[in-house]
Amino acid sequence: MAVGPISVEELEALRSLDTCTVSNAIETFGVRLRNAGFADARVRCMFEDFPPMVGYAATAQLLSGEPPITGRIYPDRTDFWNSILQIPAPRIVVLGDLDNPPGVGAFVGDMNAAILRALGCIGYVTDGAVRELPRVKQQGFHLFAGNVAVSRAYAHIFEFGSQVKVGGLEVRPGDLLHGDRHGLLTVPKEIAPEIPAAAARLREAEQEVIEFCQSPEFSVDELRRALKKLI
């Protein structure tokens, strides 16, 4: 059964955590394999000094290496904008780049960032390209991408609301995403409200180990016992 959006307070609680902490907390629930649910190095955070990005995925496919079969070269798809608005806010647009290799042209620069912000979006994720980084950053708009490109080339979008794959991560419309300088992951909504408490317990246990390693009482035998609390 599909799980609806979490509360504003629960979103804020997730936003206070870094992505590594969220990942560790998710592992404690055993809801998925530990090598799943996050994007690999093909997708990276462009603005590492930004706070964590937390929102719901609005998905589509992207091509930029060849002209579209029909329609204009540069996207002015109001139907795509309407599909974005079907997703709860805060929204994150996720485009799977189907070019081989991806990243020939960039869909999002400063103008499209402004359009997406007006549609209630806080960020953009693609395994393709982005551009005009300084002006996008001034808008406070998150970018996660595979590379930076000088041109939009023939960037056009299609298959709105489809399941996409970016950096090996499968993303469905409405998925809850969390991203920062460490990377990007999906957060299972059924456990999302419980993650902050789980994270606090883990951080307390980790801090005990850190403090023990820095103390004169350190020993390998005691370290083994301390680490058992984290397994």
pLDDT digit string, tens, across residues 72-83: 544 456 789 999
Average pLDDT over residues 176-187: 98
The residues, any chain, with a CB within 8 Å of residue 219's CB and separated by 6 or more, are: none
Residue 81 CB neighbours (<10 A): 16
Q: Are 186 and 177 in contact (CB under 8 A)?
A: yes
pLDDT digit string, tens, across residues 6-17: 999 999 999 999
Average pLDDT over residues 22-37: 97
CA contacts within 13 A on the Cβ side of 126: 31
Given pLDDT bands bounded at 50, 70 and 90, which one contains residue 227?
confident
Three-state SS for 197-230 is HHHHHHHHHHHHHHHHHCCCCCCHHHHHHHHHHH
Q: What is the pTM of this model?
A: 0.93
**158 vs 78 pLDDT, higher one:** 158
**Lookup: tokens for 74:** 């540069």
- Three-class SS state of 79: helix
Q: Which of 2-6, 67-71, 81-85 has the highest mean pLDDT?
A: 81-85
Given pLDDT bands bounded at 50, 70 and 90, which one contains residue 69?
low
Given pLDDT bands bounded at 50, 70 and 90, which one contains residue 231?
low
For the chain, the structural domain boundaries read 8-190, 196-230
Residue 27 CB neighbours (<10 A): 15
Please state at what angle helix 195-213 crosses helix 220-227, rounded to 10 degrees: 180
CA contacts within 13 A on the Cβ side of 180: 16
pLDDT at 77: 64
pLDDT at 70: 61
pLDDT at 1: 47
Dist CA 11 CA 9 (whole Å)? 5
Average pLDDT over residues 185-201: 97
Average pLDDT over residues 195-214: 94
**Lookup: tokens for 31:** 């809801």
The CATH superfamily holding the domain 8-190 is Ribonuclease E inhibitor RraA/RraA-like (3.50.30.40)
Look at residue 119 and tell me whether its pLDDT is greater than 60.
yes
Exposure string over 133-145, b if 16+ CB within 10 A, otherwise e: eeebbeeebbbbb
